[in-house]
Amino acid sequence: GGVIVLRSSGGETIAQTAGGQIRIGESGGSVRAETSGGSIVLDAARGPVRAETAGGSINLYRLQGAVQAVTAAGKILAQIAAQPETFAASELETAFGDIEVYLPPDLPLTIDATIEMATGHKILTDFPLQIEEGQARYQPAVVRGSGPVNGGGALLRIRTVGGNIEIRKLS
């Protein structure tokens, strides 16, 4: 139940704590970071990444492979710098918080983004997605943005119950 700080790792990294922040520098392999109550920060990873927290933000930079990031309450920021041969199906999900994703402009993938309770929230994207805004009647509207990017490829699923989704080009 404390803070974990790892400057760098040459291979697989597993960091788990019952309650505290996790900070990981550059990793040469896969990363699994899990905390019950704290934020997660990862500087870079060459392999797949799995980051989970029950309450806190997740900030992931310079990812080369697939990512699964889940938080119950917090913002997710993911900077995916993968190549077509290293990127695989990925998921970013928060119950209450914004999700901000940066992607290479030429990465072929398929995006499926949803805001389940979109009252006052939007999907903002630099990519050509079909945005569907549901009509609110007895409950808040659902907003969904989906479509293939650069001819389509591995699925990137983005979900928030209450928050904005931004999908930007990595520069």
Please check the confidence at residue 134 and state whether its pLDDT lies above 80: no
pTM higher than the cut 0.85: yes
Query: Which amino acid, one-letter code, is at 51?
Result: A
Please check the confidence at residue 122 and state whether its pLDDT lies above 60: yes
String of DSSP letters for the chain:
---EEEEEESS-EEEEESSS-EEEEEESS-EEEEESSS-EEEEEESS-EEEEESSS-EEEEEE-S-EEEEEEES-EEEEE---TTT---EEEEEEES-EEEEE-TT--EEEEEEESS-TT--EEESS--EEEEPPPSSSPPPEEEEEEETT--EEEEEEEEES-EEEEE--
Per-residue pLDDT reduced to its tens digit, 79-90: 999 999 999 999
Q: Is 92 within 8 Å of 67 (Cβ atoms)?
A: yes
Which whole number is the average pLDDT over 95-120? Answer: 94
Per-residue pLDDT reduced to its tens digit, 1-48: 789 999 999 889 999 999 899 999 999 999 999 999 899 999 999 999
Which whole number is the average pLDDT over 129-149? Answer: 83
Residue-level pLDDT at 112: 98
